[in-house]
Amino acid sequence: MKKVEKYVVGRRLTDEEYQFIFDRVPRLCIDIVVVKQNGILFFKREIEPFKGKWTLPGGAMRMGENFDTAHQRILNAEFGPKVKCIKKRIIGVCNHWPDGPNRHSVSILFQTVISGRITGSDQGHEIKIISDFTEKSIQPFHQKWFLDSTFLDSNIEFTC
């Protein structure tokens, strides 16, 4: 078995380390749910997995990050450097299995109110507000979460 050197906070994993670890354990992620008056904001994914599908913006937490730091980093990486979080709340958990070959991700979903100009990222620039979650072009794990959850039936606390 290959030996992987101990992770140091602040150092990014090499591609080899990342592959080794996430072939064996689930990855903890944060997905960001922005509610608009006519639906939920989605990005069209430009990379695998789920290239071409509408997906919630999100990303993996890093070693040593707390939720607030990870949320703001992911918000800026996915929406653009000028986007700020006004407020957020946890609304659920989404299980992504399989999330690519030998990949398993678990996302904590944060409903988030934002301000600033949305520019997107190298993972997705095209934006769409979706209210019909039976649409086949939605990433399947996000689609299942919205169809199965009571979030859409609940009294939405805030919008932006």
Domain segments of the chain as ranges: 32-153
Question: Region 15-33: what's the mean pLDDT?
Answer: 90
| Fold topology of 32-153 | Nucleoside Triphosphate Pyrophosphohydrolase (3.90.79)
112 vs 12, more confident: 112
Per-residue pLDDT tens digits for 33-72: 999 988 999 999 999 889 999 999 999 998 889 999 999 9
Q: Report DSSP letters for the chain, one per residue.
A: ----PPP-TTPPPPHHHHHHHHTTS-EEEEEEE-EETTEEEEEE--SSSSTTSEE--EEE--TT--HHHHHHHHHHHHH-TT-EEEEEEEEEEEEESSSSTT--EEEEEEEEEEES----BTTB--EEEE--TT-TTB-HHHHHHHHHSSGGGS------
Q: 1 pLDDT band (50/70/90 cuts)? A: very low
Predicted local confidence at residue 4, as pLDDT: 47
Share of the chain above pLDDT 70, in %: 88
